[in-house]
Amino acid sequence: MKKILFVIFAGIMLAGCTRSYTVTFHTDGTAAESAVLEKGASLDSLPVSEKDGYDFTGWYSDRALTKLWSAGTPVEEDLDLYAGWNVQKRTVAFETETTTVIDPITVDYGTIVSLEELTLEKEGMTFTGWYTDEDRTIPYTGKDPITEDTTIYAGWDGPVHVELEVKEFINQAAAGAREGCEGASLLMALQMTGHAQEYNYYSFLDEIPYSPDSSPYKGFAGNLWEDTPEIDAMMPAPVTEWGKKYGTTVNMTGCDEKQLISILEKGHPVIVWTSIHFQPSEAIYYEWGTYKSHNHVMLLIGYDEESNQFKIADPAGWNNGIYWVSYDTFMNSWDCYRGAVEVY
């Protein structure tokens, strides 16, 4: 869509016989508006033209758009003025749901982006093409021009199986950090995704943000090294803020299990608020907010659809630290609070 906003004030002060000249305004090669002025008069203002996907740069007196015409310039002959435009840019991003990362591309407004030759592979899955919606219901045809920032989603068919590799497992109990599950889970996740490589568990815990009072929603409340009357824990919001110092963290608390699986499919581990040994857990309410019984923080690193199991890196060291648990076992522990932080 384009339109021209046209307000003209013709200034003329010549004595005797005068001659009139026509000023014609062209947008995209089409004469849109014109004005008649007497010789030597000028346009005190020029119209402003608009076109979707373009920035208007002014009026030019030549088709090549090299001679910018200014308001107030005397008109001495019939004059054609041509609108100048700069095409805007749009970003096309890709969600692959694999460890393969496709960098976003920048294209001109109106560009046709064909993905016919761009295919992906994922073990145990069949690539079904590209889609314009996150639910993968609307195929991307590559026939429509890109007119806005766009995300295109890879589609897959087959049972989901994701296993992310822990770079270095951290056993909080072996390190003597009785209450250090949040820090262990966060550091494992960061190092899995290429961050905080210079830290070990102890140096990382040196930078843990402590709560100024008893609220674990403001930082770690309690003592890392021994059990105290305080809650001895930290909730998703301060863990998220702590993680942002080293990588990218997103507080996903309140999401459902399908979203957890989708995050894993992108190759991102998820810190989850479960319970020690996956005991059934229920919500507990304090003056500072919601907590959960038997609270324990772990790292979610995998999912297998055929067996309907989640894979866990458990800093408490139970079952040698890395193991599979059934969907029901996981949900009985996680569902009452649904604490989750995505890391990448």
**How confident is the prediction along the chain (344 residues), in pLDDT tens digits per residue?**
444 434 343 433 334 456 888 999 998 765 567 778 777 687 888 888 889 999 999 999 999 999 999 988 998 899 999 999 999 999 999 999 888 899 999 999 999 999 999 999 988 789 999 999 998 999 999 999 999 999 999 999 988 899 999 999 999 999 999 999 999 999 999 999 999 999 999 999 999 999 999 999 999 999 999 888 889 999 999 999 999 999 999 999 999 999 999 999 999 999 999 999 999 999 999 999 999 999 999 999 999 999 999 999 999 999 999 999 999 999 999 999 999 999 99
Counting Cβ atoms within 10 Å, is residue 192 exposed (0-12), middle (13-18) or buried (19+)? Answer: buried
Q: Provide Rg for the chain, Cα atoms.
A: 31
Collect all residues with Cβ–Cβ distance below 8 Å to 126 and sequence separation of at least 6: 156, 157, 158
What residue spans of 68-219 are helical by DSSP H? Answer: 181-192, 201-205
Distance CA 25, CA 10 (A): 15
Q: Which of 11, 87, 3, 79 is nearest to 48 (CA)?
A: 3
Q: Sketch out the chain's domains with CATH numbers.
A: 2-87 (2.60.40.4270), 89-158 (2.60.40.4270), 163-343 (3.90.70.10)
